[in-house]
Structure 1
């Protein structure tokens, strides 16, 4: 069989061009009777983009590098170039092919080994449905996707941009499910201050679109010197994601970064971690788990008595404590409400007690107001801890808003440079030379224990500046505080109702 002729490289897709193509794609899907809003349009667009990216970034590149030895994961006539680029395949013929042949074939793929990308493809397409009723409009949509190219590492954030461009109109739905997608500066800071090493296993049990996993891979890949090291690194970047759409997007994100067979499981991470063995434990956990949501009773019952709650953030934190190897470490985002939970009967306090007894909670970074805007205004924190023995003292560092700013918006988000002072203060991997200053303070573990494990400790160096704020600012802050308190009370009421059942 003759070697496949290498195709000329397609130009990359600029952000402006991408925005124009996505608008055209959405306009096309709006015309179809089978599409009911962005909750239908986003999955439809995503699986098509996945196939285009897989063909361009994995299959074509694989053949170019090894024309005689590379075996395609997707065979003819199911390759993108076989059907998606054929202008004569349209209308009912295209729709029938996609519904009755393409999707069932992809869902039925079986890999020969753990690193075979066919396993990822089949997992994705078991949940895929072609939602478009018009084969003609489907052809129009496929043609638009075919004009999007993933040809360089500069294009690796394309999928995230696609997702965000449509998610703008789904903010309420995202917030209601407690899924607050982590801004890139936050996950970059968390990865950076975790001081990853080649050979360590890294897990995000709420991996979503793969931001933490991609950043961890980017931090480590330049240390790779051999093919065996590369394979081990790919295997050590691990994720768990429950929902099909984020799983698809996360798999695609990792594919675009060069991991042909992402080690991300489609599963409920809480059950997965509860059922794991010592062999499944990892060196590092990096995560922003859903909070404010509630788990179903069957999941809650999998936890020991005294630690059963429907609050997802607590269940994730408890599970992570067991998932870490001895000496392992974690960086996790938690809301202020989780830090505050106190009292002998509070499950949150019990889990924080376990955290401080089992691990060294060495640093709590208090994030500025509105970092997760527009999904939520709830103040959040990053907890850094390591499974090396009990906590003796906790350092707190408050990252301030930039001068003159009252918050963040979608168009003016947080920037990575805002963590620079914290990075300098951190003291490197050994956290040497830390000193208290206007942003940093430390609290003995005994004081935290005496408070009922309250970690919501305000900066003692900040005085009362009420006199310097306008009445409008004060009212806005009061409204935000009352809203958060109401949310906490609703959570407590739900927990009490569950305890009385």
Structure 2
């Protein structure tokens, strides 16, 4: 299907895009989308806004590259460029016909050299599963006009948009949480990245990157130490990621674009699709990740893993994939895992035994309740390990809740400053000088082996709360727990009704 190419109108010079003005533009854009019958809730509106913002920002990036390099070949050309069609006269049905019948099919079919990092291939991957969900061409015209007011050309404006985009990502995570997906809080991402400490020249991967939080943090961590143009190029080329779902992948690309991560090598695919031997050959130096909790993989995926370590549970397969990716380069990792990984003594025990036969599991960070609130109440932990001989002990650190708090909540989330004591205890890059205290303790390797690799171990320095708390406190906590459980059951009931409808 083909429509008449849109004529171009002159674009007025955009005023400086202050944060307040950006917020006003985004607010008005969302008000416009609320009027369209094709968009139902934020899970529809935010993706629609995201892909249009992506095209607007990408057009500015292409313009800048053309200005700096006359030989640069744009990935989007002709009437498909934002500056061509978005500033045209099309509206109503003709605009819908162009977007649905020409623009999006063209972007899906864009092909490059198939080499890693080719922008044209990235575009095709991004738009493979993107559709325009708006039914009114007149409202789409209004939305496009609003988004065209955002000026991405100025570096300061780009930084401002990056800040606002992070708040949009948070909202996307909030509504995605209602669908059973949740993402890693940025303070935790930053702390894990700082402790693993990726260096210039090292390749960093997240095999379940979601919206790209770990990779953005790793990039920013390394780029401040890149002193030369060559080192900056190395950092740009050192970021790798995989994401299975189309919408998080689009959001990640927008995230990378706004953080000027032009060289990130990412693929929209299930990173568990590759045989374990291929993962070993395609190694990296550092992995930072929070793989999906509670997911299950089909038998075809499971067959890629050793027979005695096969399981449908996604988190166990990711842990094996991480080990494989780190073996060749003798790398290191920080990975978020649920409590089940700590206490599982079936196939999980065999996977943990294999981990500790090839890697040094040096630290288990035990996180308190509510770190992932409001998406899940599942207790979580972070495993830190590096390739090499397992030490004769494993350190555990119990991150405390702020004084007077029983858990984190959506309105009172985790803050980065709360990791200050743990960072001080950590002992730098060599982890020397660690001592036991009320939050930290070490467990002999022999005890872990004798316990069949159970890592769900209680802090011996903390008295049993049940014996030192009043009955009224215990009853209040039980009531809170029951309310949380009721909320989970009500959400499950809603999902069952939606599925059955």
* TM-score with structure 1 setting the length: 0.87
Q: Which moved more, 1:472-481 or 1:42-51?
A: 472-481
Instruction: After TM superposition, give the deviation of residue 196 of structure 1 in Å.
Output: 1.3
Q: What does 1:164-183 correspond to in 2, within 5 Å? A: 164-173=170-179, 175=180, 179-183=181-185
Give the aligned partner of residue 408 of structure 2: 408
User: Helix, strand or coil: the match of 2:262?
Assistant: coil
Give the aligned partner of residue 71 of structure 1: 73
Q: What does 1:222-241 correspond to in 2, within 5 Å? A: 222-241=224-243
Give the aligned partner of residue 62 of structure 2: 59
Give the aligned partner of residue 193 of structure 1: 195
2:186 pairs with one of 164, 173, 184: 184
Tell me, yes or no, if the aligned pair for 1:22 and 1:162 is still in contact at 8 Å: no
Aligned-partner Cα distance in 1 for 2:136–2:216: 36
Change beyond 3 A, Cα 1:6–1:386 = farther
Tell me, yes or no, if the aligned pair for 2:43 and 2:175 is still in contact at 8 Å: no
Aligned-partner Cα distance in 1 for 2:26–2:341: 38
Give the aligned partner of residue 447 of structure 1: 447
Give the aligned partner of residue 17 of structure 2: 12
Aligned-partner Cα distance in 2 for 1:463–1:17: 53
Instruction: After TM superposition, give the deviation of residue 10 of structure 1 in Å.
Output: 5.0
Instruction: After TM superposition, give the deviation of residue 76 of structure 1 in Å.
Output: 2.0
Give the aligned partner of residue 108 of structure 2: 107
Q: Which moved more, 1:233-242 or 1:5-14?
A: 5-14
User: Helix, strand or coil: the match of 1:321?
Assistant: helix
Tell me, yes or no, if the aligned pair for 1:326 and 1:388 is still in contact at 8 Å: no
1:145 pairs with one of 138, 144, 147: 147
Tell me, yes or no, if the aligned pair for 2:173 and 2:183 is still in contact at 8 Å: no
Q: What does 1:90-105 correspond to in 2, within 5 Å? A: 90-105=91-106
User: Helix, strand or coil: the match of 1:152?
Assistant: helix
Task: Show CA shifts across 1:113-172 (max 9, x none).
Answer: 533322211111121111122111111221222233442334324333223224434432
Give the aligned partner of residue 369 of structure 1: 369
| Correspondence 1:159 to 2:165 | yes
Tell me, yes or no, if the aligned pair for 2:284 and 2:329 is still in contact at 8 Å: no
Q: Which moved more, 1:249-258 or 1:102-111?
A: 102-111
Q: RMSD of the TM alignment (CA)?
A: 2.6
Tell me, yes or no, if the aligned pair for 1:12 and 1:152 is still in contact at 8 Å: no
Instruction: After TM superposition, give the deviation of residue 478 of structure 1 in Å.
Output: 5.7
1:287 pairs with one of 280, 283, 289: 289
Tell me, yes or no, if the aligned pair for 1:360 and 1:392 is still in contact at 8 Å: no
Q: What does 1:332-411 correspond to in 2, within 5 Å? A: 332-342=335-345, 346-411=346-411
1:331 pairs with one of 334, 337, 343: 334
User: Helix, strand or coil: the match of 1:327?
Assistant: coil
Give the aligned partner of residue 418 of structure 2: 418
Query: Gaps (5+ residues) in structure 2?
Result: 1-9, 490-501
Tell me, yes or no, if the aligned pair for 2:14 and 2:151 is still in contact at 8 Å: no
Instruction: After TM superposition, give the deviation of residue 338 of structure 1 in Å.
Output: 1.5
Q: Which moved more, 1:40-49 or 1:309-318?
A: 40-49
Tell me, yes or no, if the aligned pair for 2:48 and 2:133 is still in contact at 8 Å: yes
Change beyond 3 A, Cα 1:422–1:167 = closer
Change beyond 3 A, Cα 1:279–1:126 = same
User: Helix, strand or coil: the match of 2:178?
Assistant: helix
Give the aligned partner of residue 468 of structure 1: 469
Aligned-partner Cα distance in 2 for 1:103–1:181: 28
Task: Show CA shifts across 1:66-86 (max 9, x none).
Answer: 4x3443221121111111133
Tell me, yes or no, if the aligned pair for 2:239 and 2:263 is still in contact at 8 Å: no
Give the aligned partner of residue 495 of structure 1: none
Task: Show CA shifts across 1:216-268 (max 9, x none).
Answer: 11011133344443333222100000101111111111111112243111111
Change beyond 3 A, Cα 1:144–1:248 = same
User: Helix, strand or coil: the match of 1:385?
Assistant: strand
Tell me, yes or no, if the aligned pair for 2:337 and 2:383 is still in contact at 8 Å: yes
Give the aligned partner of residue 489 of structure 1: none
Instruction: After TM superposition, give the deviation of residue 31 of structure 1 in Å.
Output: 2.6
| Correspondence 1:213 to 2:218 | no
| Correspondence 1:29 to 2:30 | no
Give the aligned partner of residue 313 of structure 2: 311
Tell me, yes or no, if the aligned pair for 1:13 and 1:149 is still in contact at 8 Å: no
Task: Show CA shifts across 1:281-309 (max 9, x none).
Answer: 01111000001111122212322212121
Change beyond 3 A, Cα 1:21–1:476 = farther
Change beyond 3 A, Cα 1:13–1:276 = farther
Tell me, yes or no, if the aligned pair for 2:204 and 2:240 is still in contact at 8 Å: yes
Aligned-partner Cα distance in 2 for 1:319–1:170: 26
User: Helix, strand or coil: the match of 2:78?
Assistant: coil
User: Helix, strand or coil: the match of 1:290?
Assistant: coil
User: Helix, strand or coil: the match of 1:136?
Assistant: helix
Query: Gaps (5+ residues) in structure 1?
Result: 487-501
Tell me, yes or no, if the aligned pair for 1:6 and 1:64 is still in contact at 8 Å: no
2:43 pairs with one of 22, 39, 56: 39
Aligned-partner Cα distance in 1 for 2:304–2:205: 21
Tell me, yes or no, if the aligned pair for 1:254 and 1:262 is still in contact at 8 Å: yes
